[in-house]
Amino acid sequence: METVNRKSDFLHLGNTLLKWYGENSRDLPFRQTKDPYKIWICEIVFQQTRINQGLNHYNNFIKRFPDVKTLANASEDEVLLYWKGLGYYSRAINIHKAARQIMNDYQGVFPSQYEEILQLKGVGKYTAAAVSSICFNGKIPAVDGNFYRVLSRVFADDFDISNSRAFNYFSELAKLVMPDNVGDFNQAMMDLGSEICKPKNPLCEECPLNGSCLAFSLNKTSEFPVKTKKVKTSDLHLTYYFVHYNNQFLIQQRKDDFIWKKLFEFPTSIPREMEKFNRGEKTVYHKLTHKNLTINIFDIDIDSSEIWESFQKQTSYLVTDLKESHEKSFPKPLENYIQNTLKD
């Protein structure tokens, strides 16, 4: 009974948010559909990518792979190619596996139950809740960073979002304000968190919830959400050899047990007798979520067709050129190196 009373006390917040969303929702292509496949793809794409940066990538991906069957039947390399520019390529590998999972386990029909969606490769609680609520009227809040930020500020709640119990804690908090139309509510929270209740410099004067926001009334919005555990980063050193002859160069495909899974890269070692062709070295610095990369690239410029052909036969490296490299997915630092070294 206490839960019912508490929910009725805060339900006006959810209804206020829905009204605001009805008048201010962003006009996005995936908002015009209830197709769970397209909603799923958009949720995966925009997990790590801002909408204005990833929208063209999303549109191109959906154009090439308009449904589960098309995606499942494509090669992994092609899926990675159409993911090019979005980063975090394990997401592309996972959605490809999940598409095949849907074809095999659900006869090509996207599962409608939250628990079933959650079983798809690469799908977490947030994505499963978003697809379930938007497409199948599921009653589960799609808790993510936006929910943490909005709810912690509205309630001036100092529960540490780095705590392992944060997801469940804020899920229960969300249910106190959640109206019956959970799909629109989840999307409204996404819009509010990204457009108004920003991590830094929130637009509190424009927020529909400012009249009920404790952090705003206390002038403490910058203090929420509370996060004490910092993400640990590590340093990683990589060495590559850009082995080329005329405009051709050698590449190999990475395995799936390390960073940049299944992307293409340069050779990581050469025999000692090839070192005499070294024309210089370039050091590139690149940041990933949990790693600071220092990448040394040696320019191995072979000046003899006989040596070039002999080295190819002795190794399993693939031969490509600038034009063909556009059809393959490389880590961003290596792609930039190719473009700067072999200009049209």
Which residues are catalytically annotated? 43
- The interaxial angle of helices 145-154 and 166-177, nearest 10 deg, is 60
Q: Are 194 and 200 in contact (CB under 8 A)?
A: no
Instruction: Provide the pairing of β-strand 318-321 with 248-253.
Output: antiparallel
Rg (C-alpha) for the chain, rounded Å, is: 24
3-state secondary structure at position 199: coil
Report in angstroms the alpha-carbon separations of 105 from 65, 91, 97: 20, 20, 12
Q: Exposed, middle or buried by CB within 10 Å (0-12, 13-18, 19+), for 190?
A: buried
d(CA 283, CA 227): 34
Q: What are phi and psi of 331, to 5 degrees?
A: -60, 145
Neighbouring-strand partners of residue 296: 239, 283
Instruction: Provide the pairing of β-strand 234-245 with 291-301.
Output: parallel
Helix ranges (DSSP H) in the chain:
2-24, 36-45, 51-64, 68-73, 76-82, 90-105, 114-118, 125-136, 145-154, 166-177, 182-191, 214-217, 305-314, 322-325, 332-341
